[in-house]
Structure 1
Amino acid sequence: MILLFWTHLSKETWEAIAVMTDNAVMLQKKDKYKTENGEEEEYNMCQALKELMEDNRNEGRREGSLKKTKTVVRNLLQMGFSVDDICKAAECAPALVKEIQDSLV
């Protein structure tokens, strides 16, 4: 029953939740979750939350992957590998290697 409630939010409720949670993405993507119920506009919060959580998980994965890449680059730099070899091994851009190299100095 709760799911049914969250699939039929009014525009005002949607905007209030977005403002109270300081979630600009909800305001920006509001029309993506808009549905029609007769003459009334409604918004599907269930779908929005599902997608926002998936976006957060994906962002976490990207951050974890970048952290691992930085660790590999740092280790290879400390082992004396060239920037070109590090880029090939870590599949990263030279700019990332230079950034990490500068932080080691």
Structure 2
Amino acid sequence: MNSERIRDGFMPWAALALGTAGFFLAHQLGSDATFQDCRVGSPLIVIIGTFAGLAIIGLGALGSWRVYGSEREAPARRFVAVVGLLACALYAIGVILPLIASLVIPRCWA
């Protein structure tokens, strides 16, 4: 199996797979560091985690957007791509809200 076939099969699912990975990364770096052990957490860690997570989510959305925007794709592949794109919107909200909370809530609830 060549890499072209693997990539072609993965592209409709890219938003779901990479969006989940980006959300997980941002959540682990950001909200857990801030709210589980606030002595080691800082807004800088949350900002770095947010931008890294949003970049990964954006890459996944871009891959699925190409499938969704193509007129030559089958309806099933376009449907999977649009579900992934909508999920990426939710993932982005879930990544941005802990960033806002970490900047608004005082460190260690001082």
Q: TM-score range by the shorter chain?
A: 0.3 to 0.5
More contact order relative to length (CA 8 Å, sep ≥ 6): 2
Output the TM-score relative to the length of structure 2.
0.34
Of Structure 1 and Structure 2, the greater helix share is in: 2
Greater strand share, structure number: 1
Report which of the two structures shows the higher radius of gyration computed on alpha carbons. Answer: 1
